């Protein structure tokens, strides 16, 4: 019983810590979070939400206030530099998480602070459907 309680408290503290660390992300860093933590972070007025899927995927549905910059396009970094503010945290997502990690890596190499949505838009939809 005592062991279960310790495990539950440790897990709870871990989730709380993940939500807190997002506001203090250093430049060139990537933090990957679940949909619950991603949504909490989006309450930050300085959040830059970037959907890195194709424009067709974006048109089918996206997270509110998201900016669409397709990571598969050769001018991804140029567009990101023009449209994003390095002093603000960039919250990235794609369909399932692969492209957003690729974009997070590219953005962090340019000095952006990045939060990646693990599981992408699929996880987001599943979370919102609950």
Q: Assess whether 94 carries a catalytic annotation.
A: yes
**Among residues 66, 94, 104, 107, which one is catalytic?**
94
CA dist., res. 20 & res. 1, Å (int): 29
Give the torsion through C-alpha atoms of 24, 26, 31, 37, to 10 deg: 20
Active site residues: 94
């Amino acid at each position: 019983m005592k062991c279960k309680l310790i495990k539950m408290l440790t897990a709870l503290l871990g989730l709380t810590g993940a939500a807190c660390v997002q506001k203090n992300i250093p430049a060139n860093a990537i933090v990957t979070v679940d949909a619950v933590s991603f949504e909490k972070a989006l309450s930050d007025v300085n959040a830059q939400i970037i959907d890195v899927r194709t424009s067709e995927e974006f048109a089918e549905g996206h997270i509110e206030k998201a900016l669409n910059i397709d990571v598969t396009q050769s001018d991804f970094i140029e567009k990101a530099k023009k449209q994003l503010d390095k002093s603000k945290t960039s919250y990235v997502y794609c369909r399932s998480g692969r492209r957003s990690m690729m974009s997070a890596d590219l953005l962090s190499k340019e000095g952006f602070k990045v939060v990646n949505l693990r599981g992408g838009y699929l996880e987001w939809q599943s979370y919102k459907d609950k």
